[in-house]
Amino acid sequence: MTRPNPNIALYAERRRKLQQQLQRGIAIIPTATEVARNADTHYDYRYDSNFHYLTGFAEPESVLVLIAGEKPQSILFCRDKNLEREIWDGHRYGPDAACEQFGFDAAYPIAQLDEKLAELIADQPALFYPLGANQAWDTRIIQAREAVKAKARSGVRAPSDISDICVHLNEMRLIKDAHELDIMRRAATISCGAHRRAMRHTRPDRQEYEIEAELLHEFCRHGARHPAYTSIVAGGANACTLHYVGNNARLKDGDLLLIDAGCELDGYAADITRTFPVNGRFDSAQKDVYEIVLAAQAAAIAAAQPGNTWNMPHDAAVRVLAQGFIDLKICHGSLDAVLEKESYKRFYMHRTGHWLGRDVHDVGDYKINGEWRALQPGMTLTVEPGCYIRPADDIPLALWNIGIRIEDDILVTASGNEVLTQAAPKTVADIEEVMRNED
Ligand code: GLY
Ligand code: MN
Ligand code: MN
**pLDDT at res. 44:** 95
* 342 is a catalytic site residue: no
**pLDDT at res. 6:** 74
> Which ranges of 126-177 does DSSP label H, i.e. alpha helix?
135-149, 166-174
Q: Which pLDDT band, with edges at 50, 70 and 90, does 152 fall under?
A: confident
One domain, residues 200 and 117: no
Residue 395 Cβ inside 6 Å of ligand 1? The answer reads no
Residue of 24, 157, 200, 350 marked active site:
350
The sign of the dihedral angle between the CA atoms of 391, 393, 395, 399 is positive
User: Does the structure show a pLDDT above 70 at 34?
Assistant: yes
Could you please report the per-residue DSSP string of 117-139? HHHHHTT-SEEEE-TTS-HHHHH
User: Does the structure show a pLDDT above 80 at 2?
Assistant: no
Question: Which atom of ligand 1 is least distant from the CA of 260?
Answer: 1
One domain, residues 368 and 282: yes
The answer to whether position 413 is within a domain reads yes
- The pLDDT mean for the chain works out to 96
Q: Which helix (H) or strand (E) holds 324?
A: helix 311-327
Residue of 180, 358, 388, 408 marked active site:
388
Contact 358, 268 (CB under 8 A): yes
pTM of the model: 0.96
* 405 is a catalytic site residue: yes
One domain, residues 318 and 232: yes
The domain boundary, picked from 173, 198, 232, lies at 173
- Looking at per-residue confidence, does 434 or 152 come out higher? 434
The answer to whether position 420 is within a domain reads yes
What total number of domains does the chain contain? 2
The answer to whether position 264 is within a domain reads yes
- Coil, helix or strand at residue 157: coil
Question: Which atom of ligand 1 is least distant from the CA of 384?
Answer: 4
**pLDDT at res. 438:** 57
Q: How many CB atoms lie within 10 A of CB 398?
A: 14
Residue of 14, 140, 195, 354 marked active site:
354
Give the residue, out of 229, 272, 405, with the most ligand 1 atoms within 8 A of its beta carbon, to mutate for a pocket test: 229
One domain, residues 209 and 343: yes
Phi, psi of 206 (to 5 degrees): -75, 160
The domain boundary, picked from 146, 173, 200, lies at 173
* 394 is a catalytic site residue: no
One domain, residues 20 and 103: yes
One domain, residues 152 and 187: no
* 114 is a catalytic site residue: no
**pLDDT at res. 5:** 65
Render pLDDT for 373-387 as a digit per residue (tens, 0 to 9).
Answer: 999 999 999 999 999
**pLDDT at res. 122:** 95
One domain, residues 120 and 97: yes
The answer to whether position 31 is within a domain reads yes
One domain, residues 151 and 64: yes
Q: Which pLDDT band, with edges at 50, 70 and 90, does 3 fall under?
A: low
The answer to whether position 270 is within a domain reads yes
The answer to whether position 148 is within a domain reads yes
One domain, residues 108 and 185: no
Residue 59 Cβ inside 6 Å of ligand 1? The answer reads no
**Which CATH number covers residue 189?**
3.90.230.10
One domain, residues 420 and 271: yes
Report which of 178, 384, 176, 187 is spatially closest to residue 296, judged by C-alpha positions. Answer: 384
The domain boundary, picked from 173, 190, 205, lies at 173
Residue 332 belongs to domain spanning: 175-436
Render pLDDT for 78-87 as a digit per residue (tens, 0 to 9).
Answer: 999 999 999 9
**Which CATH number covers residue 48?**
3.40.350.10
The answer to whether position 43 is within a domain reads yes
* Nearest-CA residue for atom 5 of ligand 1: 361
One domain, residues 194 and 325: yes
The answer to whether position 290 is within a domain reads yes
Work out the average pLDDT over 129-136.
Answer: 95
One domain, residues 333 and 402: yes
